[in-house]
Structure 1
Amino acid sequence: MERKWWHDKVAYQIYPKSFYDSNGDGIGDLQGIIQKLDYLKALGIDILWISPVYPSPFADQGYDISDYYNIDPAFGTLEDMEQLISEAKKREMYILMDLVVNHCSDEHEWFEKACEDPDGEYGNFFYIEDRKEGETPCNWRSYFGGSVWEPLPKNPDKQYMHVFHKKQPDLNWENPKVREEIFKNINWWLDKGLGGFRIDAIINIKKKLPYKNYPSDREDGLCDLALMLADAQGVGDFLKEMHEKTFKLHDSFAVGEVFNAKEDELPAFIGNDGYFSSIFDFSTTSYGKSDKGWYDCRRITPDEYKECYFQSQEKIGDMGFYSNIIENHDEPRGVSYYLPEDGLCLEGKKMLAVLYFFMRGLPFIYQGQEIGMENLGILPLEQIDDISALDQYQVCVDAGFTPEEALKIVSFYSRDNARTPVQWDSSPNAGFTTGIPWLMVNPNYREINVKAQEQDKNSLLSFYKQMISLRKNKDYKETLVYGDVIPFERKRHNLMAYHRKGEKDLLIIGNFQKEPQTVTLPSSVKRVLLNNYPQLSQEGNTLQLCSYQALVLELV
């Protein structure tokens, strides 16, 4: 595998609306990020992925973009963005922006022109079809519920496609002019000094044409989009062209949001000269999900969690790098989702961090993860902001659940859990804003916040700093970045352990349960590099692991 500049880095995702508000309007902004760059540098962060800050009507929290060349006033100005890029460079940090090009906003000038003249140049920027007697060209279901087809504004005899929200019309990548406009914009931002992009929902750009119906999976007569995507051929042609005409020219970092990539596709996606530098490993976040809805999803067990990671690593080998996560802006908080109830404690949070962070690949930390921010709990329906959660609430009720049961289900999976403001200190609104926050602050901010943890050497924040420092340590970096992943005691219940083998033989081990476990090591311990307990119970090569204990050991 060809070595790249980003392989030994640590990345951090910022959801700007909830990160830090510099002007008291209740919304996080670019100046707020600039003010916290030194905090992120002290944490050890090298790459910052900023979720969308482009102008938007915010039908889907900024993933509906109305102008790809500017910044929404809620977040600041283009000059603020240029300052952020400049200030990050001074600290040897790289900025990634979100690239959202499967669709744009219905308030983008392209779509407005398409509505004025569906048969003109801009009509071909989208998927627009005739509408006869209310029939749709196919029975695909939008990710947010309902048909992907919507009547075209000002044109009752026409309809357009949206695989997400109806205010997010899909761009027609089959049109070379659309691709040309997108590539021009990517290069414009890279010329400004961006380090690269996170590419949103990119597999959706290739549709099954001509349109085709699939067997319905709910009473609405519609089908999950996964069936269409599995059937659509040729997305690689678009991705290769994008890579050649943009990312490759700048040696930029491009990480793709790609679900369910097949093993034989991985070399094309992230091998040498692949479409992307990396793709996220969603194997754990996707596990147990159901086409029927959130009510039918199943929580992943510790043993299943372990197998997801090991199987992902076996698939990729040394062909390329995954980007590893335990949470992002679209998922519940990782500690609330993956840890058993009795594991939602400091030791459990540290253990979960160790097990993912030292896996081969690029570790991504989501804002607030480093202090162990948790889910909100059950919210009143009127306080839920997430449009997916509101759709799934109705799906639950339609499936026969009571309103109380439906609320409990959607509160657990809601994207609002990850989007609550970062808890900076114990002052009102967790120090996020002097105004009224756009989304409620988690009530536990007095106990869980950055300021308290900065002053505590045993805190989760301090532990994350230790992990990052270890990954960058000159004696261990080669092994932790490029070493092989070899599972250890793979069949042991509620134990996740693996070697990182290269110049050194390192063993990462986590007791994924409250009860202690005894483990016999394959060789003696040369050095304890990391321990989430102050002590280690050891007799010869036998360890007695405490409740949710995690270790990084150097073996002889």
Structure 2
Amino acid sequence: MKKWWHDKVAYQIYPKSFCDSNGDGIGDLKGIISKLDYLKDLGVDIIWLSPIYCSPLVDQGYDISDYYNIDPRFGTMEDMDELLSQAKKRNMYILMDLVVNHCSDKHEWFKKALDDPEGEYADYFYIREGKGDNPPCNWRSYFGGSVWEKIPNTNKYYLHLFAKEQPDLNWENPKLKNEIFKMVNWWLEKGLAGFRIDAIINIKKDLRFQDFPADREDGLCSIDRMLEAAEGVGDMLNELKEKTFEKFDAFTVGEVFNRKEGELDKFIGEDGYFSSIFDFEMEVLGKSEFGWYDNKPFSINELRKAIFDSQLETSGVGFKANIIENHDEPRGVSRYIPEQDLNDRSKKMLGAISLMLRGIPFIYQGQEIGMTNNKFNSIKEFDDIATIDQYNVAIEKGYSNEEALKIINIFSRDNARTPFQWNGSENAGFTTGRPWLKVNENYKVINANSQIKDEESVFNFYKKLINLRKSEEFKDAIVYGEFVPTLEKYDNLFAFYRQGESKKLMILANYQKEEQIIELGKQYVKVLINNCEEIKKDKNKIILQGYQVVILEV
């Protein structure tokens, strides 16, 4: 069944770093409103805002202290209403981040729970007795250290899978669940089109709260062990959908890392919990559960296999949300293209692969102009809680300060959080004040202003890709058509068809700096998109230059 969001292009805004309207160094809602025409011009339909609710910002807004209000750093509820109204005028849709696995330790509920660990609000959280002088069990939090934090003057502990300032909400409690449903519906009634749903698999715990075998010297075990053992998250997700999203035909995209084998249909099938989930198959390549210091390199063929396998798995089931990067990852072009080959041509190739896959494309702010990783010179320049934890993990493993700094420079989430590069003026035109995180020093070379005017820029290449996706002639093939891999015998070649009812496209991307001769069985009708000036041909062979991508009608 066709849905309103199938043919849309989405864009993630990290509000703190997008555009600052008042010179305090932090991006805000008025800044976002001022750039809606820029996004409309690019071809964006759906905008997802990372959290803008009231928050102490321990984890950049993913620790919410009030779900019904906008943090004053980002503006007011009037600004939010204005954003919704301005977006509607442009036929654009706004998604917010739904963070309901945990809240902030400054949330009213948690304050009441601490005041009375036996009272009604204590049951909004997981509060358990310690085992003698030890926490209830040996699970490790995502940010390092135990998931248990002791409540002062008691032998009770509360559970936090993330930072200690992010206590987990108890989804086993019907009262708490109803509070969440009420809040979700309040926002949807206000005019939100839906939500990106944060860390949602974590809402179901293994209620035995038992130890698992330790997997590091700290005596703790990865939280993944608990999630593997927990049963019944589907019932909770179904109830969330039925009591909220379904009533509004909302578009929902889940951040789902720990889905069990064979359950894709339950998540994004015809009657799935969500409209879509992010495709993280390329994101998890080479990642180690021991820490960033242990991440392994991967080959282009492995990258291709990860993407193609995911496309084939999703075929006939539903739509995944395709990404190259987001606020939790380093910059995609810096991660997936060797540093010495990083240029406009290779950036365009990566964009073309992503936007021609089956699924909903999510562009992360700055991706459309080819923003790259930053260069951080000391641990003091980082703001991200996960980066600081990983720096310490590397030091504990015996790496020197210089080596640890080099590791986190590659993988830090702060790479994607540096201010958006609008123009070549001071602070890249992001703010007239002092930016909360340092601006990437390449902003004079890479910025939106210079690219909008340049027909050959990365920005205008993205625009062409989006126009092709939306064109009446090819929309059916790109949005609904089959994904069919081909020419897999070639190394470092991404080759696939998008087969619609009446049109068939072929995408060829030479993912290396050396040229490659490709034998094509049949002639193509015409070249629709090419990131080089020409295609070199020799009878039924074509010669692809390094990092050349072509989209052909066949």
Q: Structure 2 length normalisation: TM-score?
A: 0.99
> Which position in structure 2 is the counterpart of 1:264?
262
> Which position in structure 2 is the counterpart of 1:494?
492
Q: Deviations over 1:124-167 (max 9, x none)?
A: 00000123542111110000000000012x44321100000000
> Which position in structure 1 is the counterpart of 2:464?
466
| 1:342–1:514 CA contact under 8 A, matched in 2 | no
Equivalent pairs counted in the alignment come to 553
| 1:335–1:374 CA contact under 8 A, matched in 2 | yes
Deviation at 1:343, TM superposition (A): 2.2
| 2:227–2:258 CA contact under 8 A, matched in 1 | no
Identical columns (%): 59
Q: Counterpart of 1:197 in 2: which secondary structure?
A: strand
Opposite residue 80 of structure 1, the aligned amino acid is D
| 1:263–1:315 CA contact under 8 A, matched in 2 | no
> Which position in structure 2 is the counterpart of 1:422?
420
Mapping for residues 90-101 of structure 1, pairs under 5 Å: 90-101=89-100
| 2:497–2:506 CA contact under 8 A, matched in 1 | yes
Distance 1:232 1:132 in 2: 21
Residues 1:364 and 2:373 are matched in the alignment: no
| 1:11–1:45 CA contact under 8 A, matched in 2 | yes
Q: Counterpart of 2:48 in 1: which secondary structure?
A: strand
Deviation at 1:86, TM superposition (A): 0.7
> Which position in structure 2 is the counterpart of 1:204?
202
Deviation at 1:312, TM superposition (A): 0.5
Opposite residue 426 of structure 1, the aligned amino acid is G
| 2:253–2:275 CA contact under 8 A, matched in 1 | yes
Distance 1:286 1:293 in 2: 12
Cα gap change, 1:260 to 1:304, in 2 (>3 Å):
farther
Deviation at 1:262, TM superposition (A): 3.6
Distance 1:517 1:132 in 2: 63
Residues 1:379 and 2:381 are matched in the alignment: no
Distance 1:318 1:45 in 2: 26
Distance 2:261 2:89 in 1: 39
Q: Counterpart of 2:68 in 1: which secondary structure?
A: coil
> Which position in structure 2 is the counterpart of 1:176?
174
Deviates more, 1:501-510 or 1:61-70: 501-510
Distance 1:187 1:150 in 2: 32
> Which position in structure 2 is the counterpart of 1:432?
430
Mapping for residues 187-336 of structure 1, pairs under 5 Å: 187-336=185-334
Deviation at 1:378, TM superposition (A): 4.2
Residues 1:119 and 2:154 are matched in the alignment: no
> Which position in structure 2 is the counterpart of 1:129?
128
| 1:367–1:422 CA contact under 8 A, matched in 2 | yes
Opposite residue 247 of structure 1, the aligned amino acid is F
Q: Counterpart of 2:101 in 1: which secondary structure?
A: coil
Deviates more, 1:97-106 or 1:296-305: 296-305
> Which position in structure 1 is the counterpart of 2:65?
66
Distance 2:99 2:329 in 1: 18
Distance 1:390 1:533 in 2: 41
| 2:376–2:382 CA contact under 8 A, matched in 1 | no
Opposite residue 27 of structure 1, the aligned amino acid is I
Distance 2:410 2:202 in 1: 27
> Which position in structure 2 is the counterpart of 1:480?
478
Opposite residue 63 of structure 1, the aligned amino acid is Y
Deviation at 1:260, TM superposition (A): 4.1
Distance 1:100 1:155 in 2: 30
> Which position in structure 2 is the counterpart of 1:406?
404
Deviation at 1:381, TM superposition (A): 1.0
Mapping for residues 5-44 of structure 1, pairs under 5 Å: 5-44=4-43
Opposite residue 518 of structure 1, the aligned amino acid is I
CA RMSD in angstroms comes to 0.9
Deviation at 1:504, TM superposition (A): 1.3
> Which position in structure 1 is the counterpart of 2:522?
523
Q: Deviations over 1:326-363 (max 9, x none)?
A: 00000000000000123211110000111111100000
Distance 1:299 1:27 in 2: 35
Opposite residue 517 of structure 2, the aligned amino acid is T
Return 5+ residue gaps in structure 2 as ranges.
Answer: none
Deviates more, 1:469-478 or 1:335-344: 335-344
Distance 2:315 2:195 in 1: 24
Opposite residue 427 of structure 1, the aligned amino acid is S
Opposite residue 287 of structure 2, the aligned amino acid is K
Deviation at 1:523, TM superposition (A): 1.3
Distance 2:541 2:260 in 1: 40
Residues 1:504 and 2:506 are matched in the alignment: no
Q: Counterpart of 2:224 in 1: which secondary structure?
A: helix
Deviation at 1:210, TM superposition (A): 1.0
Distance 2:313 2:391 in 1: 36
> Which position in structure 1 is the counterpart of 2:101?
102
Cα gap change, 1:414 to 1:170, in 2 (>3 Å):
same
> Which position in structure 1 is the counterpart of 2:48?
49
Q: Counterpart of 1:393 in 2: which secondary structure?
A: helix
| 2:201–2:258 CA contact under 8 A, matched in 1 | no
| 1:497–1:508 CA contact under 8 A, matched in 2 | yes
> Which position in structure 2 is the counterpart of 1:186?
184
> Which position in structure 2 is the counterpart of 1:514?
513
| 1:115–1:155 CA contact under 8 A, matched in 2 | no
Q: Counterpart of 1:82 in 2: which secondary structure?
A: helix
Return 5+ residue gaps in structure 1 as ranges.
Answer: none
Distance 2:215 2:319 in 1: 35
Q: Deviations over 1:271-326 (max 9, x none)?
A: 01210000000000011111111011113321111101111112111210000000
| 2:359–2:479 CA contact under 8 A, matched in 1 | yes
Q: Deviations over 1:221-245 (max 9, x none)?
A: 0011111111110000000000001
| 1:126–1:171 CA contact under 8 A, matched in 2 | yes
| 1:161–1:170 CA contact under 8 A, matched in 2 | yes
Q: Counterpart of 2:59 in 1: which secondary structure?
A: coil
Deviates more, 1:369-378 or 1:418-427: 369-378
